[in-house]
A and B are shown apart, each in its own frame.
Chain A
Amino acid sequence: MDSPKIMVRNFNFYYGASKALKNINIDIPENRVTGIIGPSGCGKSTFLRSLNRMNDVIVNARAEGRVVLDGRNIYDEDVDVVDIRRKVGMVFQKSNPFPKSIFENVAYGLKINGVKDKYYINETIEKSLRDAAIWEEVKDRLHKSAFELSGGQQQRICIARALAVQPEVLLMDEPASALDPTATLKIEELIQALKKKYTIVIVTHNMQQAARISDFTAFFMLGELVEYNLTGIMFTKPSKKITEDYITGRFG
């Protein structure tokens, strides 16, 4: 395996008394797409949100163990969570543009990070929108509300918004689950293009999608990491019976 961008070691996560993640150990390689699959409630999203400490906002939740990003445990006490989230961007399941213009949406991350240089902001916005493969569709209406766009376009605006702060890792929580097939295809192509620059971790409910876009696949069940391997191997000769059952659609 290539050098891991993120190493997760003995990671447990609790919602109150219930244990949502059980002793997770996984290496996430740089500039690759790592797909996370598993039945509903298996801890996929919880795991994803542990990688940029978005779970911090949940009341009564508790993390245990280490998530090492570039050699640094992001759960160490002296780590500023704000820095982590800027480095590890996130795209949510339901596209969540802010009720602002397209321009303001993409500029948001720059502005809160104190960027004032107008020229730089304009450049970055165009670049991010291009990288998110939506520049051509919105370049003439940057100052219109992002709410006027279609669902698929909104999701790509959210991706552009995440890219604008130049993260190193991009976490995606079922980014295409609410989209139609055409829009889904666009997002999938986009992910393929983005992995040249970013390390991508994507949660997906859709087995075919995982097979199509991810280089590595991790199978979660009941809060445990059951199996993790190259996608090609996972989908042709998984080493565990239960993985095979899930992948072939015998349950889930």
Chain B
Amino acid sequence: MKKKQFTQILGFSLLRTCACAVILVLAVILYDIASKGAVVINWKFLTTMPADGMTKGGILPAIIGTFLVTVITAILAIPLGMGCAIYLNEYAKDGLITRFIRMAIRNLSGVPSIVYGLFGVILFVQLMNIGTCILAAGFTLGLMTLPWTITASEEALKNVPNSYREGSLALGATKWQTIKTNVLPYAVSGMLTGTILGLSRAAGETAPILFTGAAFYLPHLPKSLFDQFMALPYHLYIMSTQHHSISKVRPIAYGTALVLIALVFTMNLFAVILRYKLRKVKME
């Protein structure tokens, strides 16, 4: 009896340690970046251009670049991903084509991001000839986000009870009416939650934008979506590995990292709030 209890406590503690380790990792990363990055962050840092060979000044163009690219990513990934999820969950019959689509989605999520980058160069930059620019990079990231968007959206659709669909069909609604009025309203916040999580990942990616539009340094802000841009993750990469005096610009690198993490966390927080709201609606 005593031994049994001891084993239980031991097992419990081990499992708890595993769980706490995750928090520890996050805490260490956050502490490191926050403590070293916070010193450079001020209004000027966020709102001015880099100066003196990027050893001084702010990171405004990188913030704006990442923002614009993420918007393009969302514009591509949200309709395409949601549409695909609606088709798969509501319309597709289980057949060869459906299985093929699902297999494709599973495999897409396993493609390394650098490969997406190369694909983006070929498809958007060269074949569609839109050049290295915000649009090309956003589209590339959008494609990369698709598997997440689709999977999360499908999950949200699956959470809508089938009785809503049947109840609506039994009243003489068409399939599309049923989806539009009695399924999507209850799935859309879940779909958005997953999509935002995908977008927040995309916002932090470097490899897919490396060849498709991100620039080492630009003296001015992008004037259109067909211009090259600076981005937070790429800027961070440059500041920590490619700059001519890495040690001198280290604080700027940390500041950039902090801004990037804050951006990603804000997006995730937004997703969490959405999910919370969704749960509340469901319980009502």
Contacts and interface: CB of A to CB of B under 8 A. Distances in A.
Interface of A: 52, 54, 57, 59, 82-83, 85-86, 89-90, 92, 94, 96, 98-99, 108-109, 111-113, 145, 147, 158, 161-162, 165
22 contacts: A54-B169, A82-B173, A85-B172, A86-B171, A92-B163, A92-B166, A94-B163, A96-B161, A96-B167, A99-B164, A99-B186, A99-B281, A108-B181, A108-B182, A109-B172, A112-B171, A112-B172, A112-B174, A112-B177, A113-B171, A161-B171, A162-B171
A112 B168 contact: yes
Interface in B157-208: 161, 163-174, 177, 181-182, 186
A35 B94 CA distance: 35
B52 interface: no
Most central of B170, B174, B177, B284 by chain A CB within 10 Å: B170
B223 interface: no
A96 B172 contact: no
B181 A112 contact: yes
Most central of B94, B169, B281 by chain A CB within 10 Å: B169
Contact of A54 (B166, B173, B177, B186): B166
A85 B172 CA distance: 5
Contacts, number: 67
Contacts of A112: 168, 171-174, 177, 181
A82 B174 CA distance: 6
B3 interface: no
A99 B181 CA distance: 11
A57 B169 CA distance: 10
Most central of A59, A89, A108 by chain B CB within 10 Å: A108
Contacts of A94: 163
B16 interface: no
